Amino acid sequence: MKILVTGADGFIGSHLTEELIRRGHQVRAFVYYNSFGHWGWLDESPDEIKQELDVFAGDVRDPHGVRTALTGCDTVLHLAALIGIPYSYHSPDAYVDTNVRGTLNIVQAARDLGLDKVVHTSTSEVYGTAQYVPIDEQHPLQGQSPYSATKIGADQIALSFYRSFETPVTVARPFNTFGPRQSARAVIPTVITQIANGERTLKLGSLHPTRDFNYVKDTVAGFIAMAESDRVLGEEVNLGSNYEISIGDTVALIAEAMDAEVEITTDEQRLRPEKSEVERLWADNSKARELLGWQPEYGQREGFKRALAETAAWFTDPANLARYKHGIYNI
State pLDDT tens for residues 234-281: 999 999 999 999 999 999 999 999 999 999 999 999 999 999 999 999
What confidence category does residue 57 fall into, taking pLDDT thresholds of 50, 70 and 90?
Answer: very high
Query: Which pLDDT belongs to residue 331?
Result: 86
Per-residue model confidence (pLDDT) at position 213: 98
Task: In whole angstroms, give the CA distance from residue 193 to residue 183.
Answer: 11
Domains defined along the chain, listed by start: 2-178+214-239 (3.40.50.720), 187-211+243-282+298-321 (3.90.25.10)
Q: Where are the alpha helices (DSSP H) in the chain?
A: 11-22, 47-50, 63-70, 85-90, 92-95, 102-113, 146-165, 187-196, 216-228, 247-257, 286-292, 300-316, 318-321
For residues 212-228, average pLDDT: 98
Q: What is the pLDDT of residue 327?
A: 86
Task: Please report the pLDDT score of residue 1 as a whole number.
Answer: 84
Distance CA 315, CA 35 (A): 28
Q: What would the mean pLDDT of 211-218 be, rounded to a whole number? A: 98
pLDDT at 220 over 90: yes
Q: How far is CA 116 from CA 44, 111, 324, in A?
A: 30, 9, 39
Q: Which amino acid is at 71?
A: T
Cα 201 to Cα 220: distance, rounded to the nearest angstrom: 34
pLDDT in tens, 146-183: 999 999 999 999 999 999 999 999 999 999 999 999 99
| Global confidence as pTM | 0.97
pLDDT tens digits, one per residue of 96-121: 999 999 999 999 999 999 999 999 99
- Grouping H, G, I as helix, E, B as strand and the rest as coil, residue 227 is helix
pLDDT for 105: 98
Average pLDDT, integer, range 124-128: 98
Beta bridge partners of residue 6, listed in sequence order: 30, 78
Calculate mean pLDDT across residues 15-26.
Answer: 98
Residues 266 and 204 sit within 8 Å (Cβ to Cβ): yes
Give the integer Cα–Cα distance in Å for 1 and 26: 6
State the DSSP code for 127: G
